[in-house]
Structure 1
Amino acid sequence: MIVLKSRHEIGIMREAGKVVAECHAALKDFVREGVSTLEIDQFVENFLTRHHMIPAQKGYKGYPFAACTSVNDVVCHGFPSEYRLQSGDIITIDMVAQYKGLHADSAWSYAVGDISETAQKLMEVTERALMIGIEEAVIDHHISDIGHAIQQYVEAQGFSVVRDFIGHGIGRKMHESPEVLHFGPPHKGPRIKKGMTFTIEPMVNTGTYECRVDEDGWTARTADGGLSIQYEHTLAITENGPEILTVL
């Protein structure tokens, strides 16, 4: 069941989203060669708690960290570790803040030092794909219109869209209805209504869209070892169009 949010609830989610956006902005200076992904996780946890937010990913279905740190061929849910970033790496950092019982979720990606032309294009295309999806998130459009627009754009750029992991409704729970696919035909699924809140979070690969999951049960990688990048925002649907809640 899709739960529509009140203006008050969206206001709380906006507060949470602003802190998430502030954390991502601070990470631009923190993410650099030599920093470990465990140090990034600790930075995120400290930032969120210092701003009176609960790092909602920590403990979610047993996940032990405040952030997901997905490097190079990791599609999503990468475990923070002692691995230290190297020049040429690309990393996606995903976090969820809970505030007064409501959630805001955003993943953003960062280049470490000098990256390849392919990696740079992948980052640019994926961020643009997110914005193309957001443009489709308007009242009376279908949820599938979002994914269709993303897939059409990404594949025209020579990349592939991950099928195994998708966007989702968000609010009192981290994951709610509806499911938001980043691929598929248009004009399917529920119509978008005022008060809906959900994420759009395309994961885009340089090679195949297929993934495999590590023995830890969380870390998803590209099946062919190609690069992967993700960008994600939390949105609220208003009569004036989609409002991005995870921005400054």
Structure 2
Amino acid sequence: MIYYKTEAEIELMRESALLVSKSLAHIASLLKPGITTLSLDKVIGEFIHDHKGVPSFYSYKGYPFNSCISVNDVVVHGFPGKDELREGDIISVDVGVYKNGYHGDHAYTFAIGEPTEDVMKLVRITKESLYKGIEKAIAGNRIGDIAYAIQEHTEKKHGYGVVRELVGHGLGKQLHEDPQVPNYGRRGTGPVLKEGLVLAIEPMINMGKKDVYTEEDGWTVRTVDHKPSVHFEHDVCVRKGKADILSDYSIIEAVEKNNPNLSTKY
């Protein structure tokens, strides 16, 4: 069942989404070679609690951490651990917040130091594809229009692998609601988009093959060819004429730009 939100509910969701954005911005200030992803996860949990939220991911279907932190060939759902980040790594940080009865859920991929040009191109194209999809998240369009826009920009134009097994989703009182939002598909197909629908749109794009596998922990998803993967995600409300982005990358990007350990050359 698809749930449409009232204006009051949308503003509560915006508050949850912005706390996710602020959490990601805080992490952007800390990222550097030598830091462990486990220490970042602890900071994320503390930051969310300090701002009167609850980490959405912790204990969700048994998930044991506050965030998903995916490095290099990990597509999504990476377990934070004691391994240290290294020069040239790319790291996707995916955070969920539950506040005022509603979830926020989005992700951002950071580049540590100076990754190779082809990796930085993947970061750029994936981020661009997120906004290509968002442009189609307007009343009267269909889910397939979002999906096609992302696939066309990544797979058809640049030959990247678009993950099939994992998709975006509706968002609200539940972390995952209907409808599913694939990053591949045909225009003019799927449910009609109506005002008040809130979606988590999240392209997961591989440099190589689209194929992935899940590790024995039941969560960590990697590319089969172990080539890098990039993940960006925004929380978006469907409107007439232009989508309303509830999350805010600008505060993340400002910190990212001022951290000398991060590359923004994409």
The match for 1:180 is 181
SS of equivalent residue, structure 2 residue 140: coil
Letter in 1 for 2:11: G
Correspondence 1:138-217 to 2 at 5 A = 138-155=138-155, 156-217=157-218
Structure 1 residue 239, shift from structure 2 partner: 3.0
The match for 2:58 is 58
The match for 1:221 is 222
The match for 2:9 is 9
CA offset digits 1:63-96 (Å, max 9, x no partner): 0101000000000000000011000100000011
Letter in 2 for 1:145: D
Specify every segment of 5 or more residues in structure 1 that has no aligned partner in the other structure, as ranges: none
- Aligned CA-pair RMSD: 0.9
In the alignment, the residues of structure 2 paired with residue 41 and residue 119 of structure 1 have an alpha-carbon distance, to the nearest angstrom, of 24
The match for 1:94 is 94
Letter in 2 for 1:39: S
State the TM-score, normalizing by the size of structure 1: 0.98
Q: Is this contact kept in 1: 2:70–2:76, CA < 8 A?
A: yes
Say how many residue pairs are matched: 248
Correspondence 1:25-174 to 2 at 5 A = 25-155=25-155, 156-174=157-175
CA offset digits 1:46-78 (Å, max 9, x no partner): 111111111010000000101000000000000
Structure 1 residue 241, shift from structure 2 partner: 2.1
SS of equivalent residue, structure 2 residue 105: strand
Specify every segment of 5 or more residues in structure 2 that has no aligned partner in the other structure, as ranges: 252-266
Structure 1 residue 224, shift from structure 2 partner: 0.7
In the alignment, the residues of structure 1 paired with residue 60 and residue 25 of structure 2 have an alpha-carbon distance, to the nearest angstrom, of 24
In the alignment, the residues of structure 2 paired with residue 184 and residue 143 of structure 1 have an alpha-carbon distance, to the nearest angstrom, of 9
In the alignment, the residues of structure 1 paired with residue 58 and residue 186 of structure 2 have an alpha-carbon distance, to the nearest angstrom, of 35
Letter in 1 for 2:56: A
SS of equivalent residue, structure 1 residue 189: coil
Q: Is this contact kept in 1: 2:161–2:211, CA < 8 A?
A: no
Letter in 2 for 1:168: H
Q: Is this contact kept in 1: 2:137–2:239, CA < 8 A?
A: no
Query: For structure 1, which segment, 23-32 or 50-59, has the greater mean C-alpha deviation from structure 2 after superposition?
Result: 23-32
State the TM-score, normalizing by the size of structure 2: 0.92
Q: Is this contact kept in 1: 2:24–2:95, CA < 8 A?
A: no
In the alignment, the residues of structure 1 paired with residue 116 and residue 53 of structure 2 have an alpha-carbon distance, to the nearest angstrom, of 36
Identity between Structure 1 and Structure 2 (%) = 40
The match for 2:233 is 232
In the alignment, the residues of structure 2 paired with residue 122 and residue 241 of structure 1 have an alpha-carbon distance, to the nearest angstrom, of 26
CA offset digits 1:118-150 (Å, max 9, x no partner): 110011011000000000101000111101011
Structure 1 residue 194, shift from structure 2 partner: 0.4
Q: Is this contact kept in 1: 2:4–2:196, CA < 8 A?
A: yes
